[in-house]
Structure 1
């Protein structure tokens, strides 16, 4: 799924990216001395870390695919000088040209050396693992080196209770990057899409279907808990999460408990080495799951894990699940 670009090819890829990015990244970087400072310093608090910006960052490293897509959607894609992962096969069409023009630094996360070699003034991540202290790229280490950091609040440790968290993150990024209108437009679009789906379900008198969100695992199945973005997606889509208790976004459970809760639908998260088809085959063959209405009625929806993050993709997953479970609500 991912293709690694060797470090020796990085310079050539960056040149190609400059030619394709529309508003040239080269122009932005070469004119570093002409960057307009903010009229007043912009101070934000992200995951309990306060940071002050006197001007918009001009060299950004994006650590996750959904972050890269989001920054492009906001209008800051021409300032991304490198990204983690980055070579996914299903990039959003609206950002594909710019996305593929950005150098992918590694199959997964770039190293400390790869990051600092690019001399970024901001590193943005969508998962806590991007700032792994054991890998030497913690937020403390980067900030000590004079590099600002931003982590999508989905991974600050407080769950994802409602859309206000996304609105705050996008508003803050819009302010510090100087793309406030783009950030507002993106936020408004996501909210409108979610509202449209929920309105259609309410108009059809839909009641939530007890749903098992299957992440992975055979000996111990992993599912979606009640505090993560998956819970919110289920609420908008009319899929009542049967494991909404607890304080973990991805808890483990047992097949016996699943048998007791008798899910009427299953949402399979598609990612990793085990394909969605193989996951479904395992669920159908699992003796306890075979007793559930979801398996008997073949009520299974497949959603890419990429659509279960804090981004415009969450609206896609909501619509996919809602249309599969409640087709009558959409004509």
Structure 2
């Protein structure tokens, strides 16, 4: 699967070299995506704990769904011996791996019995869980909280170092960046309608300093939470919701058929006009590579014209970049973002010649 992704990336970059140059503009600088898989390595986590890996790990446990998704995406699943088994990992191949959760609760004894070389713990992991596993002598790496897509990229690269899969991690980050660059180009001149991300009946939503906020803004909408001055995950007042009257309501599909939002939200333009978008919860809510798919799903719903413009040429070209996939590692139906393949990148380059790619 990754081999095909690399080929697509190379093709996009090669074709972009033939786009007309803009006078006085310089080619976007390459991002620093280098990882260190020269062992032994020492890595310090979010708690200030430093773990030392003398050699590439042969066994890895992922405590959270986002940890497991990342391991699969970078191609390190052959080292994954334990992971959560719940709805949040439904798209991943469990195989003969140990289910280390009961629902969403971590079963410490199962993790300890596996004697993994390293344990991956996304920031959502409770401190007590990490302390218990460390007291049992396990090396547990607690990730920083992902407050942006850039943080997700960093976590992917760090996972590569922790699993001995630096090359796969770098390829995955390249894959993310290439697709997001195409999205940026397609939305360059698009209007940014106001959107409300619904998370709960009390009005809880995602504000600034969350990666979900950046998913929304990258997808071409203005987040009502930012206008209201919300940072992190907090309730939006009913008064603000009514006064600002968002054009779109976006939510994760794990709440379907109901949308977890205040009753007053039914009075908004978004609800009255049926502008309610459900996004795959495992792609939108997990700080992992598949947030890219969540971005494009929102673009397709909110900006159909821009989506179509970026997608044009696929049928004419007759190309299909759907990968044959590997049974254990294929975590989606298509290696490319739906509608965003090589012809898309060419169309985007032609349409916005000289547009400086590179998001950070």
1:322: how far off? 0.7
- Paired with 2:70 and 2:271, the residues of 1 have a C-alpha distance of 36
Q: Distance in 2 between matches of 1:214 and 1:321?
A: 14
Structure 2, unaligned runs of 5 or more:
1-36, 309-360
Match of 1:238 in 2: 220
- Taking the aligned partners of 2:306 and 2:38, their CA distance within structure 1 comes to 49
Once residues 39 and 322 of structure 1 are traced to their aligned partners in structure 2, the CA distance between those partners, rounded to angstroms, is: 40
Report the Cα distance in structure 2 between the residues aligned to 1:192 and 1:90, rounded to whole angstroms: 27
Counterparts of 2:251 and 2:127, CA distance in 1: 28
Report whether the alignment pairs 1:264 with 2:260.
no
Contact 2:39 2:56 in 1 (8 A): no
> Is the contact between residue 58 and residue 121 of structure 1 (CA under 8 Å) also seen in structure 2?
yes
Partner residue, 1:189: 175
Distance (Å, rounded) in 2 between the aligned partners of 1:253 and 1:322: 24
Identify if the C-alpha distance between structure 1 residues 277 and 100 changes in structure 2 by more than 3 Å, giving closer, same or farther: same
Residues 39, 186 of structure 1: alpha-carbon distance in 2 compared, 3 angstrom cutoff: closer
Structure-2 change in CA distance of 1:236 and 1:141 (3 Å):
same
CA contact (8 A) 1:87 1:100 kept: no
Match of 1:118 among 110, 114, 118: 114
Match of 1:313 in 2: 290
Q: CA deviation at 1:267?
A: 0.1
- The aligned counterpart of 1:50 is 50
- Does the C-alpha gap of structure 1 residues 151 and 191 become closer, same or farther in structure 2, counting only changes over 3 Å? farther
CA distance in 2, matches of 1:41, 1:247: 43
How high is the TM-score relative to the length of structure 2? 0.68
How far residue 306 of structure 1 moved from its aligned partner, in angstroms, is 1.5
CA 1:60–1:131 in 2, change beyond 3 Å: closer, same or farther?
farther
The 3 A distance-change label for structure 1 pair 190 and 228 is: same
Give CA deviations for 1:130-175 in whole Å, capped at 9, x if unaligned: 3341xxx22x33234321112332x2xxx51451x23322222222
2:155 is the alignment partner of 1:178: no
Q: 1:160 aligns with which of 147, 164, 178?
A: 147
Q: Is the contact made by 2:39 and 2:55 (CA closer than 8 Å) also made in structure 1?
A: no
Structure showing greater relative contact order (alpha-carbon pairs closer than 8 Å, 6 or more residues apart): 2
Aligned-residue offset at 1:324: 0.1
Unpaired runs of at least 5, structure 1? 1-37
Q: Pick the aligned partner of 2:266 from 275, 290, 295.
A: 290
- Contact 1:60-1:121 within 8 A present in 2 as well: yes
CA–CA distance in structure 2, aligned partners of residues 44 and 132 of structure 1 = 19
Q: CA RMSD in A?
A: 2.3
Instruction: Point out the structure with the larger helix share.
Output: 1
